Amino acid sequence: MDKNRPTPPKNIDSSAIDTWIFDLDNTLYRTSPAMLAQIDHLMGSFISDFLNVDRAEARLIQKGYFRTHGLTLRGLMLEHSLDPQDYIAHLSQLDLSEVAPDPELADTLNRLGGRKIIYTNAFTEHTREVMERIGITAHFDAVYDIGDADYVPKPAIDSYRRLCDLHDVDPTRAVMVEDIARNLEPAAELGMTTVWVRTETSWAKDVTETDHIDHITDDLTAWLRNVGNSG
């Protein structure tokens, strides 16, 4: 299979899948450049104030903790004993007004059999607001956020195991959908079917290790609709 091209859901028997696990940001909706810039600004301003450093140093710390700990928040917690609620409260200032209703996605999710769970490195308050704005809240059975994961972010496999234990997920009967390719590696290791939603973001470029990816799509709604039609 050419892993550089979108793939049809020909190897998925939807009747054999009882759980669908979706990432949120840039998977169920696309974050705009303006939103990404705002997130970057909020993270930088928090670190600058929290650690009493200038914005240039704050950015270096932010990127360094993301690389080292998988999430800036976790780095701040481990290195500086940050109370995560302070960080979450600051990031809650993010303007989500650009997130629009997506009735086509909502209808497709409604027609897709099996439980549906959102698994995100973000926090529940953000997730719930985004779900409401898109119009998909009614189609999900649970949200598993960074707090539920004990602040251990993707792609740490222990977080995936915790999700499966908490929600009684059989990985061999689950599909995981993500926009960050490396976050699908633990899912594949546990036996999940993996779907990469390819975007134009920087972390989606130059992806070469794709043996752990079963399917690739540039249009999640269309791909899911085809799964429903083929099951």
Same domain membership, residue 135 and residue 180: yes
The reported pTM is 0.90
Do residues 112 and 97 lie in contact, with contact meaning Cβ atoms separated by under 8 Å?
Answer: no
The CATH number of whichever domain residue 178 belongs to comes to 3.40.50.1000
Please tell me whether residues 25 and 87 are part of one structural domain.
no
Q: Under 8 Å CB-to-CB from 103, ≥6 apart: which residues?
A: 135
Dump pLDDT digits (tens) for 205-223: 667 678 899 999 999 999 9
Residue 141 DSSP one-character state:
S
**Domain count along the chain:** 2
Identify the domain boundary among 45, 62, 91: 91
Answer yes or no: is 117 within a domain.
yes
Same domain, 21 and 37: no
CATH number for the domain that contains residue 51: 1.10.150
Name the DSSP letter for residue 117: E
CB 12 within 8 A of CB 41: no
For residue 9, tell me if it sits in a domain: no
Flag whether 58 is in a domain.
yes
Predicted pLDDT of residue 12: 75
In whole angstroms, what is the distance from residue 143 CA to residue 118 CA?
5
Claim to verify: residue 136 and residue 23 sit in the same structural domain: yes
Judgement on whether residues 85 and 137 belong to the same structural domain of the protein:
no
Both tokens of 96, joined, read 């989500």
In a domain, 1, yes or no: no
Stretch (H or E) spanning 163: helix 157-166
Statement to judge: residues 78 and 130 lie in one domain = no
Note whether 22 and 49 are same-domain residues: no
Q: Are residues 175 and 82 in the same domain?
A: no
The SS3 call for residue 143 is: strand
- Half-sphere exposure for 64 (CA within 13 Å, toward CB): 9
- Who's near 148: CB < 8 A, 6+ residues apart? 162, 163, 166
Identify whether residues 106 and 192 lie together within a single domain: yes
pLDDT at 126: 94
Which residue type, as a one-letter code, is found at position 113? G
pLDDT tens digits along 39-94: 999 999 999 999 999 999 999 999 999 889 989 999 999 999 999 999 999 999 99
Residue 3, in any domain of the structure: no
Specify whether 141 is located in the same domain as 202. Answer: yes
**Token digits for 47?**
């670190």
Cβ-contact 14, 231 below 8 angstroms: yes
Structural domain includes residue 54: yes
In a domain, residue 85? The reply is: yes
Residue 176 falls inside a structural domain: yes
Distance CA 136, CA 148 (A): 21
Q: Quick one: tokens of 147?
A: 């707090």
Work out the mean pLDDT of the chain and round it to a whole number.
90
How confident is the model over 95-108, as pLDDT tens digits? Answer: 999 999 999 999 99
What DSSP string describes 167-227?
A: TT--GGGEEEEESSGGGGHHHHHHT-EEEEE--SSGGGTT----TT-SEEES-HHHHHHHH
Q: In which domain, by residue range, is 80 found? A: 33-91
